[in-house]
Structures are given as C-alpha cells and as structure tokens.
Amino acid sequence: MRSAWFGIATGVALAAALAFLTLPVVAIFVDSPPADLISALGEEGALDALWLSLKTTAAALAIIVVVGTPAAYLLATRRFPARALVITLVELPLVLPPAVAGIALLAALGPSLTFTTGAVVVALTFVASPFYLRQAQAAFASVDRSWLEASRTLGASEARTFARVAIPTAVPGLMAGGALALGRALGEFGATLMFAGSLQGVTQTAPLAIYQRFSTDFDAALALSAVLVAVSAAILLTAKLFGGWDAADRR
C-alpha cells in the first residue's frame, strides 16, 4: 500500500515536470506555422544573428575544450593544497546571474574589448566553461586508476597516458560536458548584452536578436526561437548518439 502511494506520487511529480518543461517549447512551434518560420529566416538580420551565434559558440567551445580538458584532468587526478577552493572558484560562474557576469567582465577586461565579436566569445567562454569543467572532472575521476598506472608501468609518459588512455576512456563524459557548455553558450544573453553590446553581424547573437524582435515583431521572435530550439535539440541528440550524455544511465 505504502509503495503504491509512493509510486503514484513519483509518477505525478514526473508528469508535472514533463508538462511544465515541454509546454512552453511546444507552444513556440504551435504558434509559428512553418511558412512563417521560413520567411522570418529570410528577413535581414535573422540569419546574421544565427550565423554569429554559431561562430562565437564554436570559438568559445574550442577554447573551453583545449584549456578545460587538461585542467579538469589535473583537478581529477591530483591532490594539492586548496584543491577544493580552486574547484569552487572555477565553478562560481555557474551560480552567477548573467548580469553580474557582464559587470564583472566589464570591470576586469575594461571597455577596450566591448563592441567586438571577441567580447562575445569571452562572455560565452566565461559563462559556459564551468559546465564543461565539472563534467570533464567527473569523467576523469571515474577512469579506473589501475589503467593509468598500467600505462605508466609499461613506460608511457604522463602526457601519453593522458592522451591515449585517459581521454579515450573519458570521451562520453567529455562529450556530455561539451554539449552542456555548448547549450549554455548558445543561449547566453545578459552577459553578452552588457559586456559586448548588440550590433547586427558583430555582437548581436540569436538570443539578442530574439529580444529585439520580441517587442515589434513577435512572430519573427517566435520563428527565430523555433530555429534555436531545433538547433539546440539537434546538439543534444548528437551528444546522446555519440554516447556521451546519458552515461550515468548505463553505469
């Protein structure tokens, strides 16, 4: 009897979560007929914004992966003083409101970078990298220590062990982290607006273009939103296909 009650309660909770999380996304597509979608994309500026979003997100992700992978490996495999503090500090942007991130970037990097595409990449990298670092660190931490030791015993250098044993084993987790960081970067709004500004083709990413259209042309805003949903869903699906995302599910 007790377990039946609990089963119903968890079922209701899942149904509520599912409805709440999917309804707004479904509404975007219900409210925007496919023909409108296509014509809205033909509008000057919409494609610019999408293209800029893809370019800046790709650049940010490249920086995050190149720097974040060895950094996460070190955090996962070594014990050093103040390690917990370092982990907390690199995770801090996760809980910062985007407006705070924007102010902080302005204060730290000054206005010289503002109004450039580079500033967009910096803002995206800042807000998205903790997502990758967290996942990558967890992925490296769950690599069997004895494999790494076997590799060293067989004469492989530390770098070779990292490249040939640790990374291939951790790939699912790294992919999952990359997908999370990519999703966060693609959706970045507040920090970009405050730190980089908003100008078509230079700093106006898709979320900023959506915000600008929201007031005057709700249909165009919906259409651009629908495209962003589709792109994000495609990224999520790719990450799952490559085996990364739900590694936790199969363990």
Partner 1 sequence: MRWLLIAALLVALAGCGDDDELVVSAASSLTEPLTTCSGDDVKLAFGGSDELAAQIRQGVKPDVYAAANMELPNELYEEGLLEEPLTFAFNELVIAVPDGSEITAVGALARPGVKLAIGAETVPVGSYTRAALSRLPPEQERKILGNVRSEEPDVKGVVGKLTQGAADAGFVYRTDLVDGLKAVALPQRLQPNVAYGAAAVKGAGDDARRYLASLNGGACAEALRAAGFGTP
Binding site for partner 1 (CB under 8 A): 19-20, 23-24, 26-27, 30-31, 106, 110-111, 114-115, 193-194, 197-200, 202-204, 211-216, 218
CB 127 within 8 A of CB 187: no
CB 225 within 8 A of CB 53: no
Whichever of 118 and 141 has its CB closer to partner 1, that residue is 118
- Return the structure tokens found at 227: 């495209």
CB of 41 to partner 1, least distance (A): 19
What's the CA gap between 78 and 80, in Å, rounded?
Answer: 6
Whichever of 27 and 234 has its CB closer to partner 1, that residue is 27
CB of 199 to partner 1, least distance (A): 5
Residue 244 CB-density burial (10 A; 0-12 exposed, 13-18 middle, 19+ buried) = buried
CB of 197 to partner 1, least distance (A): 3
Whichever of 211 and 242 has its CB closer to partner 1, that residue is 211
What's the CA gap between 186 and 206, in Å, rounded?
Answer: 8
Q: At 244, give phi and psi (nearest 5°).
A: -80, -55
What's the CA gap between 130 and 128, in Å, rounded?
Answer: 6
CB of 95 to partner 1, least distance (A): 23
Whichever of 114 and 169 has its CB closer to partner 1, that residue is 114
Whichever of 214 and 242 has its CB closer to partner 1, that residue is 214
CB 177 within 8 A of CB 84: no
CB of 145 to partner 1, least distance (A): 48
